Structure 1
Amino acid sequence: MVELQEIHKKFQKELSAGTVSLALLSILAQSGEPLYGYQIGKLVGAGDDDSPGVMVKQGAIYPVLRSLETQGLLSSQREMSDSGPPRRYYQATNTGQEALQTWIKIWEETKSFVDNVLGGEYQ
């Protein structure tokens, strides 16, 4: 029999799959400046066991950033770092800004639906 803790972890992973893309795109659209992966991770509490809500592992951020870039929603640029290896800085593209507005509407509709169902208002 599957342990309840494993079921919770699987549910959290499935739930956070799309919300991480939304959160990262939103952060980069609002930042006003390009950010690199570690900075973004700190903003979303990646790897921080005390952070509430969706847990994002620092290493999980990079595939999402690359996917968003492949879709044309982000652009990136490598820059040398004074301390350590070069950093890849990401920023939202115009297409990313437009997509974010649609994603926010989809999120709000989805959240409203789930809130209604959880509140017993599903009829």
Structure 2
Amino acid sequence: MPDAAAGELQSDDLQAFVRKFDKELAAGITALTLLGVLGEGVPLYGYQIAKRLERDAGGVLAGKQGALYPVLRGLEAATLLSSEVQASSSGPPRRYYRITALGREALAQCTTRWRATRRIVDTILGGEHA
């Protein structure tokens, strides 16, 4: 029976590794995609950003709206975004986010790194890439 216990431990270790991998990957991709959406130059509030990401991702981000706000706050703390609260005619005031000049530079550098990384990973894993 020691083999079964060892297999169970390995399975737990594998699941922990995959969860950590998913979390780290999601954090970077979320920040990059937020910068990308706001990099189009139109100030947006959180719900608009979430709906835009959901639409552009084919629904993949459905139900993950709450996860965007901590990333937005972090990007703002890093001065990659700025925000301004504006009154709304149809509800409470809304916080609109806008990319800063530093944010545009971060977007350019991170996009370059993302594309290079994607090419390398696709090549190593034998996948196709654009």
The TM tier, using the shorter chain, reads: 0.7 to 0.9
Q: CA separation in 2, counterparts of 1:39 and 1:73? A: 19
Give the equivalent residue in structure 2 for 1:34: 43
Give the equivalent residue in structure 2 for 1:18: 28
Q: Could you tell which deviates more after superposition, 37-46 or 87-96?
A: 37-46
Give the equivalent residue in structure 2 for 1:112: 119
Matched positions, count:
116
Compute the TM-score of the two structures, normalised by the length of structure 1. Answer: 0.80
Aligned residue identity for 2:125: L
Give the equivalent residue in structure 2 for 1:76: 83
Identical aligned residues as a percent: 50
Larger helix percent: 2
Structure 1's 78 and 95: CA in aligned 2 closer, same or farther, altered over 3 A? same
Root mean square deviation, CA, Å: 2.8
Instruction: Structure 2 unaligned segments of length 5 or more: list them.
Output: 1-7
Shift of 1:90: 0.3
Compute the TM-score of the two structures, normalised by the length of structure 2. Answer: 0.76
